[in-house]
Amino acid sequence: MEISLNELIHRQNLRIADLLSQQQAGDTSPLNAANIKTTEDRIDELNARLERRRTELQQERHCAIADIQLVGRAWVLPHPERTSPGLAPFVQDEEIERIAIEAAIAHENAGGRQVESVEAENRGFDLISRRPHPEDPKTALEVRFIEVKGRAARGEVALTTNEYKTAQRLGPDYWLYVVFDCATQPSVNVLRDPAQLDWEPVVKIEHYRLKVESAKHPVELHQDVARYDPGGG
């Protein structure tokens, strides 16, 4: 596993070294910049896979073949407040997402750009849109890395940590397409370099922890005690 993934990482490192050399030699074309970004993303993905597989293999060291024993049962239900006004806009609706993606692709095609879907690759964006050179279709004059967010009507938009960090890394090459009114008449709202907007981080406390030192500290009880004096004092 390590030999295979390290070889893939090595190949990508050689590729990015070549691309950076071209850039330093004066190649400032959008295609070269896009290839650099794509290769960096690929390296990040491969490194993440390597670390994840190392962790999984380490966990497998503790597995042993034995009789099956029932440990417990879990009943998984939808969030009880998923239809509340605060959560409903963020609940994923596959049909709404499909409509939003189709609207974004149609928007790009209307602008003369060619679109590639990378939704299943978890790269921090959904689409790669390229404007081909009129004389050389294999060369792109412009490359957009597009994250698409769809809403049935209108409402707030949220980015995952991966999407937000990708937006920060790609800067003006990252585009956020917010598609409102997907349930009626979709309208595409285009935002370039969305990391520059006033996003509000949302943090939810899942539990509280108590340090060992605090847990071992004895609790002092203060009581008023009436003492009995046999001598009558």
pLDDT of residue 225: 46
pLDDT of residue 226: 47
- Residue-wise pLDDT for 146-167, tens only, equals 999 999 888 888 898 889 999 9
Cβ(149)–Cβ(179) below 8 Å: yes
> Which domain does 131 fall in, by range?
88-196
Percent of the chain with pLDDT over 70: 84
| pLDDT surpasses 80 at 43 | yes
* 167 lies in the same domain as 118: yes
Confidence of residue 136 (pLDDT cuts 50, 70, 90): confident
Confidence of residue 206 (pLDDT cuts 50, 70, 90): low
Confidence of residue 233 (pLDDT cuts 50, 70, 90): very low
Cβ(176)–Cβ(188) below 8 Å: no
pLDDT of residue 148: 96
pLDDT of residue 216: 62
**According to the per-residue pLDDT averaged within each range, which of 57-71, 83-97, 153-167 is highest?**
153-167
Considering the domain boundaries, does residue 225 fall inside one?
A: no
Give the per-residue SS3 of the chain: CHHHHHHHHHHHHHHHHHHHHHHHCCCCCHHHHHHHHHHHHHHHHHHHHHHHHHHHHHHHCCCCCCCCCCCCCCCCCCCCCCCCCCCHHHCCCHHHHHHHHHHHHHHHHHCCCEEEECHHHCCCCCEEEEEECCCCCCCEEEEEEEEEEECCCCCCCCCCHHHHHHHHHHHHHEEEEEEECCCCCCEEEEEECHHHCCCCCCCCCCCCCCCHHHHHCCCCCCCCCCCCCCCCC
pLDDT of residue 231: 54
- State the Cα–Cα distance between residues 72 and 176, nearest whole angstrom: 43
Confidence of residue 125 (pLDDT cuts 50, 70, 90): very high
* 96 lies in the same domain as 33: no
* 100 lies in the same domain as 54: no
Least confident of 18-22, 39-43, 53-57, 213-217: 213-217
Average pLDDT over all residues of the chain = 83
- Residue 212 CA neighbour count, 13 Å, CB half: 0
* 98 lies in the same domain as 52: no
Least confident of 34-43, 116-125, 132-141, 188-197: 132-141
* 98 lies in the same domain as 190: yes
Considering the domain boundaries, does residue 21 fall inside one?
A: yes
Structure tokens at 157: 């938009």
Number of separate domains in the chain: 2
- Other beta carbons within 10 angstroms of residue 23's beta carbon come to 15
**Does the predicted model carry a pTM greater than 0.75?**
no
- Among 132, 194, 145, smallest CA distance to 36 is for 145
- State the Cα–Cα distance between residues 49 and 5, nearest whole angstrom: 8
Please say which residue of 59, 76, 96 terminates a domain: 59
